[in-house]
Amino acid sequence: MCGIVGFVGKTNCLPIVYNGLETLEYRGYDSAGIAYIYNNKINIIKEKGKLINLKDKLDFNISSKIAIGHTRWATHGNANKTNAHPHQVGKFTVVHNGIIENYIDLKNKLLKKGYQFKSETDTEVISALLDYNYKLEKDILKSINKTKNELVGSFALGILCSDDIKNIYALRYSSPLILASFTNGNFLASDIPAIINYTNKYILLDDLEIAKLNEDKITIYNKDLKEKKIKYHIFNGEKTSVQKNGYEHFMLKEINEEDKVFKETINSYFDGTLKSLNENFGFLKKYKKFDIVACGSAYHTGVIAKSLIENYANIIVHTEVASEYRYKKCFYDKDTLVILVSQSGETADTLAALRKAKNDKIKTMAIVNVLDSSIAREADYVIYTKAGPEIAVATTKAYVSQLTIFSLITLYLAYINNNLDKIEINNIIKDIKLLPKLIKKEIKNYQTYYNIADKIYHNKQIFFIGRGLDYANSLEGALKLKEISYINSVAYQAGELKHGTISLIENKTPVIAIATDELIIDKTISNIKEIKARNAYVIYVSNTKPKDIFYDDFIQIEKVHPILQSILTIIPLQLLAYKVAKNNKCDIDKPRNLAKSVTVE
């Protein structure tokens, strides 16, 4: 949430900072701003709305060599120009990603000291606190250090001080921040896409470390303000992974990468033998229970995993959304492994759930996409998904990669618990090999889903129903549709409808009914017939062609073992959501009010 970029170097920095912000706009797009040093003074330009609104206001030809920029996802105060970052108080100008929980107390203290505030943000309070502490300490580093100890919450900060126009200062706690160097200067940024056009080498700032960047070098100070040796990391992905490559939207590009993502995730942990699964997942043997904790779509993969692991491996799984889990009584013990699932590895609630478990001395495992992200760094075990950078705010390929990991884990646990016979194991392995082709085939069939989208896109509400695994698939189908098209789409267990919700079914209300589990397919079909009898417009999604016609449209998906089936079930639903949003002229990659990487609670 919120993207920050800073650059100091030998070259004109405004295009660099602006382009960096463009690559981070997925983190927030409520307003944007840049502070730059020109004629020995700090200038600030900011605008409401998307970054493009800032473009005309910037003179890209002026020779400024040092700047910090911000693209905002509003937390404190409306998305207006006054609340846009950077925020300047006295000698300090700040861009911030995170939330300061004690900002009211700090603000009251600073008001008493004579400070005045223009915005409603917590960030302006940081600027004032830095200025106040600078007056006391008379030293920038010491002032930042003192401020850091007074802030409660999460923060990644880029800081300029008018008494030192050659350096940018940076600081982080619980919000991501990387640093990087290239021949012409030094960067700070919230994420790798902002630097990848210049270098693939980056530095991870640890919690509570302070960095100082000038045109020649980066210096990092530890908690005691002692200089620390710098360690570089290498980003191995391709530059093109953060570009659209001819696709109209990142979301469409990312759906089209799902076969490759599945293959790469499988190849990282499974060479076709159960021995390789034992090497990668052998540590799971120690645990008798799993708590799967995540948010949004990542949570949905946990709902699917619960069903698979309980059914096939006979192990109790508790799945819960992180924002609830972090504050509730947990019945975990030394036999429990808490599994955190996160694409970004920075989601605040998921990170807090991890810290809670660690605090209670419970072992944790992260299933994470972003290398060295906070969740990856803090968990006891890490399994990386191999989705590559995901830019569209709505997750698609990362979701598929998380399901892929859970398929492998289920297979492994079912195998060691002797719950699958040899024939079934061989069938699953055969299906794993076939899956990339089947994923591609389903994506190629997009016109079928688009035709259906054309029929339903004008509706105000759309229902998804399913049982068991297909209810979990419905949850994700409904989320994908609502978040990018703003249509109220809700998922229900097919058997539950008649206990209340069926009263919402009117003539031609679209209902997307999913039935892939052959053990309960007939039960789901009976439920579909009940809603068809009430004139719903039924879109039936199944891996088996039914004997009679009780639907208006049919999406036939490929049939594979249930351990893998959800990976194929979600593809038509993602493409259907995409086309519905496109028909409604929605901003598909940057849906209203949302941002990727939710680093606030």
Catalytic residues: 2, 596
Taking the least distance from each CB to ligand F6R, the nearer of 131 and 483 is: 483
Residue 574 in the binding site for ligand F6R (CB under 6 A): no
By CB under 6 A, which span of 293-301, 454-462, 486-494, 546-554 interacts with ligand F6R?
293-301
Helices (H), 457-589: 469-485, 521-532, 562-583
By CB under 6 A, which span of 186-194, 221-229, 291-299, 446-454 interacts with ligand F6R?
291-299
Q: Which of 9, 153, 296, 466 binds ligand F6R (CB under 6 A)?
A: 296
Q: How far is the CB of 496 from ligand F6R (least distance, A)?
A: 23
Q: Which of 175, 347, 516, 527 binds ligand F6R (CB under 6 A)?
A: 347
3-state secondary structure of 225: coil
**Residue that has been written with the tokens 């990018």 in this structure:** 484
Q: How far is the CB of 563 from ligand F6R (least distance, A)?
A: 22
Q: How far is the CB of 392 from ligand F6R (least distance, A)?
A: 8
Supply angle C-alpha 129, 133, 136, rounded to 5. 150
Instruction: Tell me the pairing of strands 164-173 and 153-161.
Output: antiparallel
Residue 307 in the binding site for ligand F6R (CB under 6 A): no
**Residue that has been written with the tokens 């920038």 in this structure:** 140
Cα–Cα distance for residue pair 104/110, rounded to 1 Å: 10
Maximum separation of any 2 CA atoms in the chain, in Å: 81
Taking the least distance from each CB to ligand F6R, the nearer of 209 and 483 is: 483
Query: Using the 8-state DSSP alphabet, how is residue 249 labeled?
Result: S
Q: Residue type for 429, please?
A: I
- For 488, the enclosing helix (H) or strand (E) is strand 488-493
Q: Which of 174, 181, 343, 569 binds ligand F6R (CB under 6 A)?
A: 343
State the residue number with the nearest CB to ligand F6R.
296
Question: How many positions of this chain bind ligand F6R (CB under 6 A)?
Answer: 15
Q: How far is the CB of 90 from ligand F6R (least distance, A)?
A: 36
3-state secondary structure of 367: strand
Q: How far is the CB of 453 from ligand F6R (least distance, A)?
A: 18
By CB under 6 A, which span of 50-58, 294-302, 407-415, 447-455 interacts with ligand F6R?
294-302
Q: Quick one: angle between helices 422-444 and 258-269, nearest 10?
A: 150
Q: How far is the CB of 25 from ligand F6R (least distance, A)?
A: 15
Of 341, 405, 328, 406, the residue nearest 375 (C-alpha): 341
Query: Using the 8-state DSSP alphabet, how is residue 298 labeled?
Result: H
Taking the least distance from each CB to ligand F6R, the nearer of 395 and 524 is: 395
Q: Which of 74, 394, 438, 491 binds ligand F6R (CB under 6 A)?
A: 394
By CB under 6 A, which span of 45-53, 227-235, 269-277, 295-303 interacts with ligand F6R?
295-303
Q: Which of 196, 298, 555, 560 binds ligand F6R (CB under 6 A)?
A: 298
Q: Is 85 within 8 Å of 94 (Cβ atoms)?
A: yes
Phi-psi region of 117 (alpha: psi -120 to 50; beta: other; left: phi over 0): beta
Q: Which of 125, 555, 598, 600 binds ligand F6R (CB under 6 A)?
A: 598
By CB under 6 A, which span of 55-63, 147-155, 226-234, 290-298 interacts with ligand F6R?
290-298
Q: How far is the CB of 73 from ligand F6R (least distance, A)?
A: 12
Of 417, 365, 389, 325, the residue nearest 601 (C-alpha): 325
Cα–Cα distance for residue pair 131/120, rounded to 1 Å: 18
Letters for 395-424 (x = contact with ligand F6R by CB under 6 A, - = none) are: x-----------------------------
Q: How far is the CB of 191 from ligand F6R (least distance, A)?
A: 12
Who contacts 571 (Cβ-Cβ below 8 Å, separation ≥6)? 255, 258, 439, 442, 443, 557
Taking the least distance from each CB to ligand F6R, the nearer of 37 and 321 is: 321
Residue 485 in the binding site for ligand F6R (CB under 6 A): no
What is the side-by-side strand order in the sheet with 336-342? 316-321, 289-294, 336-342, 363-368, 381-384
**Residue that has been written with the tokens 């439920």 in this structure:** 527
Q: Is 600 within 8 Å of 348 (Cβ atoms)?
A: yes
Q: Which of 350, 374, 524, 527 binds ligand F6R (CB under 6 A)?
A: 350
Q: Which two tokens stand for residue 239?
A: 């530059």
Q: Please list the residues that pair with 93 across neighbouring strands.
A: 88, 160
Residue 483 in the binding site for ligand F6R (CB under 6 A): yes
The contact set with ligand F6R (CB under 6 A) reads 295-298, 342-344, 347, 350, 394-395, 479, 483, 597-598
